Chain A
Amino acid sequence: MSAHDSHAPNRSGLWDWLTTVDHKKIAILYLIAGGIFFLAGGFEALLIRLQLMYPESSVVGAKTFNELITMHGTTMIFLAAMPIIFALMNAVVPLQIGARDVAFPFVNSLGFWLFFFGGVLLNTSWFLGGAPDAGWTSYTTLALNQYSGHGVDFYVLGLQIAGIGTLIGGINFLVTIINMRAPGMTFMRMPMFTWSAFVTSGLILFAFPAITVGLVLLMFDRLFGGNFFNPDAGGNVVIWEHLFWIFGHPEVYILILPAFGVISEVISTFARKRLFGYSSMVFATALIGFLGFMVWAHHMFTTGLGAIANTLFGLATMLIAVPTGIKIFNWLLTMWGGQIRFTSANLWAVGFIPTFTIGGMTGVMLAIPPADYQYHDSYFVVAHFHYVIVGGLVFGLFAGLHYWWPKMFGKMLNETLGKWNFWTFFIGFHLTFFPQHFLGLMGMPRRVFTYLKDQNLDMGNMISTIGAFGMTIGTILFLVNIFVTAASSKRAPADPWDGRTLEWSIPSPPPEYNFAQTPLVRGLDAFWIEKVAGNKGMTPAEPLGDIHMPSPSFLPFLMSVGLFIAGYGFMYHNYVVVVIGLLVTFACMFTRSVKDDPGYHIHEDEIEDKGVKA
């Protein structure tokens, strides 16, 4: 004990944010960085839609257009959706399981900074000779040196650095959820969002290594003259597609499962009912995660895998409709007999149901290989995956942000603005993407920078672009709401929504140690059980005492900067820079390994919320 500081290191301002290992602050960092990348990706999308507003137009050139679609997809998936999911997971999961932090706070911080610098590296390509232009899927041989620009190197290195961050983040959440649950919080008492975070983390653990292998091979091809994907030298172009989609399909579920979790929490809270069919929801989540690994080749039906492979992968894909259907009906029956309140958070959750159902339906249609030969790489697919990713995931993220904003920031988002935000975005979304189903069926391939007149594709594209403005207005209203909320002085109560889970039993925002005393969990919807029983708060599982906290550290930031520098060295074949960058990273790793970091204690007297006796 004597080696331990008894006081928190005194850090403030920017330095505090650069060194924090507190999951609640890391959540905010993820949200800010992910939010900025989301705006960048959205701006790229708007340019894409402007270019396609009229036939044969030239708002942007052909090459720029390919850069825009590549960066839009890559940014939205890796740098916007994933980090905002991590923001919610960081903000909520430790609170929902009654923990004081994640299992590895240092690794948590490292995960964030790796993602951040990977994303920055990727985006600097815009200013260093052009962004990647081979599509977010970067199919070879188009993504090889002979056929695409320097931009793809930024893709290869940026995603590798960001990918390490995501992988260790996923491992951290697996360990946290397995090891750090409060007494009584059995697996089958975990809130649905925590369950979805758990399954998603498992998917990250198994899916990200596949893309890492692919990216390393592509890096060898591009930077060091490897020939893994070069058919002229005995390479094989289809292997890249497999590696990409062995990652890429689970990635879809990595994205959508947390949204399912959010929707489950929000719908149940605002219906004032427990989640209908909780155990079947858990089962469905795990089953979707499992099946998600067996269906990757449905992205490759036209690759030429043959009738047997296509049929089997098609049937496996159709099966996913069953657990997904279970979820939809469970949500509907959760609301059945409830007292539904249409807060902004719940509008997003309720709007999610029909929208995601449409995305799921077109998913089943796409699972039929012979029909997919028509849909594949057409605008029908573009419509489908935006219904799933925007109508599913983004709606879910908006629901989650409105729902947990008071817990994260201690202030309530403005409800009027929230509703305007929802309706403009919702209507804009359907205007943008619904007509795209028909554009695809009418013969419009995806990823085309223009289309010719007299092919009857004009009206659908025009409507689609108008819709994009609706989504833009919705997004701007959300930004306005953030500023209005930040400027207001009204504080959020601990439990503004009549919540059911543990995070609502502690102040908004929670103190850095979260729980003054670890709570005792007596069932599903732990906090609701106590409220119904007439208790003021959770029953503590331990007496009040000193709380051990992890120390802040600047090393995760520096480690990531090292890899960031080395990345440029690799791209420009400057091995001095590579060595300098890697030295920074390894020196930080060495320091971390040998320097004793005992953390510090918050003394019993300093704990604001004087708990009850255990």
Chain B
Amino acid sequence: MGMKGWQQFWRQLSLFGLLALALTGCGKDELSTLKPSGPVAAMQFDLMKLSSAIMIGVFIVVMLIFTYVLIRYRKRPGQQGIPKQVEGNHALEILWTVIPFLLLIVMAIPTVTTGFELHKEYSKEEALQVKVTAHQFWWEFEYPDLGVATAQDLVLPVGKKVQFHVTSADVMHAFWIPALGGKIDTNPGQENKIWLQADKTGTFYGKCAELCGASHALMDFKVEVMDQAAFDSWANGMKGVQAAEPVAATAASAAQGQEIFNKSCLGCHAVAGKGGKMGPNLTNFADRERVAGILAHTPENVAEWLKDPQKVKPGNNMPNLNLDDAQTKALVDYLQTLSVK
């Protein structure tokens, strides 16, 4: 048994270990499945840990035999004779059939129990109901029991189960909030259900996980988790605004922007109780975390988006309105007034 070989083996193993550690250490709290912030993600993380521990155990056994065999049985110079031709070994073969089977049973039991746990459906008495409709390339969120509709920023109360009803308006997408739990496909023409719960307040990152066209990579959304009182006040604010006509802007520039908006945008975008559903609801646009789901929410970025939506998000359905600088500024000023906070 060569010491050198062993040293090399451990060096390689620790190198990979370090790489792994470095990468996991960097996972972002708001995004990583390795930093669960709710019971669903936590259950899934437990299964990930259990299965990877068992698998790493198996890997170590395989690698020990592998390394030993490669070092011990390498052909040596001048070696003579023919090795013994071994047909097999029943005891060994049964051993490495039965042991993996037992390991699988260890994994199978929590797989079954967790599986059924995650597929439970909660009524509106037990959980907040949210309808999710995916579009190329944005997310529509409706709270049917609260009479509230929003887009891009999903607002949730902390520590409460949320039952999602997901579908799509065009192609297949997948609704994924890694830190809160695994994903579910949004199938056009069908409704899927999934429940999640956030146990921490803060902002979590949501992603589209199914290839859905050119800007699939940019179909991000944000999840704002707040305590129940803040959520109730947000929901009441939204409900009040959405039950009424849009408020007329007061500042001159914003009023001019509202005029442009009513003429060119209202057909697709709703504000308060008025407007179309083709594009994201903009009732609380100014409160949002991002512009178009990806850009930092600054007036400059809103302007950039308005001037050339295709440049920011290729393949999206928003037309270029061909606004001049003054019109763009007016529209940006108006959009920045759309707040329910």
Interface residues of A (CB under 8 A from B): 61-63, 66, 69, 133-135, 139-142, 146-148, 231-232, 235-238, 271-274, 276-280, 302-304, 306-307, 310-311, 314-315, 318-319, 321-322, 325-326, 328-330, 332-333, 335-342, 350, 353-354, 357-358, 361-362, 364-365, 368-374, 376-378, 434-435, 438-439, 441-443, 445-452, 454-456, 459-460, 463, 532
For A460, list chain B residues within 8 Å (CB).
23
CA A336 to CA B64, docked complex, whole Å: 13
For A369, list chain B residues within 8 Å (CB).
111, 115
Interface residue total, chain B, C-beta cutoff 8 A? 97
CA A279 to CA B96, docked complex, whole Å: 15
**Segment at the A interface, from B142-150, B182-190, B239-247, B270-278:** B182-190
Partner of B115, one of A236, A277, A370: A370
For A335, list chain B residues within 8 Å (CB).
69-70, 73
Tell me if B59 and A358 are in contact (CB < 8 A).
yes
CA A554 to CA B89, docked complex, whole Å: 52
Tell me if B208 and A445 are in contact (CB < 8 A).
yes
Tell me if A322 and B118 are in contact (CB < 8 A).
no
Query: Could you tell me the distance in whole angstroms from the C-beta of A70 to the nearest C-beta in chain B?
Result: 9
Query: Could you tell me the distance in whole angstroms from the C-beta of B37 to the nearest C-beta in chain A?
Result: 12
Query: Could you tell me the distance in whole angstroms from the C-beta of B159 to the nearest C-beta in chain A?
Result: 21
Tell me if B100 and A365 are in contact (CB < 8 A).
no
Known: A61-B314, A329-B92. A238 touches B217 (CB 8 A): no
- CB of B97 within 8 Å of the partner chain: yes
Query: Could you tell me the distance in whole angstroms from the C-beta of B102 to the nearest C-beta in chain A?
Result: 10
Query: Could you tell me the distance in whole angstroms from the C-beta of A242 to the nearest C-beta in chain B?
Result: 13
Tell me if A459 and B22 are in contact (CB < 8 A).
yes
CA A148 to CA B214, docked complex, whole Å: 10
Tell me if A336 and B69 are in contact (CB < 8 A).
yes
Enumerate the 6 nearest inter-chain pairs by beta-carbon distance, A residue then B residue, closest first. A373-B182, A231-B189, A448-B217, A307-B119, A304-B192, A443-B31
Known: A63-B314, A339-B73. A370 touches B28 (CB 8 A): no
Partner of A319, one of B20, B104, B182, B189: B104
Partner of B27, one of A62, A307, A337, A442: A442
Tell me if B55 and A364 are in contact (CB < 8 A).
yes
Tell me if A370 and B44 are in contact (CB < 8 A).
yes
Tell me if B73 and A337 are in contact (CB < 8 A).
yes
For A357, list chain B residues within 8 Å (CB).
58-59, 62
CA A190 to CA B69, docked complex, whole Å: 27
Task: A338-B73, A378-B209 given; name 16 further pairs at CB < 8 Å.
Answer: A142-B212, A272-B83, A276-B89, A302-B183, A303-B185, A304-B185, A311-B112, A314-B115, A325-B96, A336-B65, A353-B66, A377-B183, A435-B19, A442-B24, A445-B217, A456-B28
Tell me if B28 and A304 are in contact (CB < 8 A).
no
CA A238 to CA B185, docked complex, whole Å: 11
Tell me if B75 and A340 are in contact (CB < 8 A).
yes
Sample 11 A-B pairs with CB under 8 A, ordered by A number.
A66-B216, A311-B111, A311-B116, A339-B79, A339-B83, A354-B62, A369-B111, A370-B115, A435-B23, A445-B209, A460-B23
- CB of B205 within 8 Å of the partner chain: yes
Tell me if A139 and B315 are in contact (CB < 8 A).
no
Known: A304-B190, A459-B26. A441 touches B33 (CB 8 A): yes
For A302, list chain B residues within 8 Å (CB).
174, 182-185, 209
Partner of B48, one of A303, A371, A445: A371
CA A306 to CA B120, docked complex, whole Å: 10
CA A231 to CA B114, docked complex, whole Å: 32
Tell me if B96 and A447 are in contact (CB < 8 A).
no
Tell me if B70 and A142 are in contact (CB < 8 A).
no
Least CB separation from B105: chain A residue: A318
CA A333 to CA B58, docked complex, whole Å: 16
Tell me if B70 and A350 are in contact (CB < 8 A).
yes
CA A238 to CA B188, docked complex, whole Å: 9
For A378, list chain B residues within 8 Å (CB).
209
Counting chain B CB atoms within 10 Å of each CB, the highest count among A134, A271, A376 belongs to A376
Tell me if B62 and A442 are in contact (CB < 8 A).
no
- CB of B152 within 8 Å of the partner chain: no
Tell me if B210 and A329 are in contact (CB < 8 A).
no
- Interface of chain A, helix or strand or loop or mixed? helix
Tell me if B97 and A142 are in contact (CB < 8 A).
no
- CB of B161 within 8 Å of the partner chain: no
For B88, list chain A residues within 8 Å (CB).
276-280
- CB of B34 within 8 Å of the partner chain: yes
Tell me if B28 and A443 are in contact (CB < 8 A).
yes
Tell me if A135 and B315 are in contact (CB < 8 A).
no
Known: A141-B188, A302-B185, A456-B26. A63 touches B176 (CB 8 A): no
Tell me if B31 and A370 are in contact (CB < 8 A).
no
Known: A66-B211, A272-B83, A442-B34. A372 touches B182 (CB 8 A): yes
For B43, list chain A residues within 8 Å (CB).
370
Tell me if A62 and B207 are in contact (CB < 8 A).
no
Least CB separation from A454: chain B residue: B28
Tell me if A434 and B172 are in contact (CB < 8 A).
no
CA A341 to CA B44, docked complex, whole Å: 45
Known: A232-B189, A357-B62, A361-B58. A274 touches B111 (CB 8 A): no
For B119, list chain A residues within 8 Å (CB).
306-307, 310
- CB of B279 within 8 Å of the partner chain: no
Tell me if A333 and B170 are in contact (CB < 8 A).
no
Counting chain A CB atoms within 10 Å of each CB, the highest count among B92, B172, B213 belongs to B172
For A341, list chain B residues within 8 Å (CB).
75
Tell me if A377 and B85 are in contact (CB < 8 A).
no
Partner of B28, one of A271, A307, A332, A442: A442
CA A463 to CA B48, docked complex, whole Å: 24
CA A304 to CA B208, docked complex, whole Å: 16
- CB of B265 within 8 Å of the partner chain: no
List B1-48 residues whose CB lies under 8 Å from chain A.
16, 19-20, 22-24, 26-28, 31-34, 41, 43-45, 47-48
CA A277 to CA B95, docked complex, whole Å: 13
Tell me if A326 and B48 are in contact (CB < 8 A).
no
Least CB separation from A63: chain B residue: B214
For B125, list chain A residues within 8 Å (CB).
none
Query: Could you tell me the distance in whole angstroms from the C-beta of A318 to the nearest C-beta in chain B?
Result: 5
Tell me if A66 and B214 are in contact (CB < 8 A).
yes
CA A280 to CA B136, docked complex, whole Å: 51
Known: A62-B215, A378-B209, A448-B217. A371 touches B47 (CB 8 A): yes
Least CB separation from B119: chain A residue: A307
Partner of B184, one of A232, A325, A373: A373
Query: Could you tell me the distance in whole angstroms from the C-beta of B120 to the nearest C-beta in chain A?
Result: 9
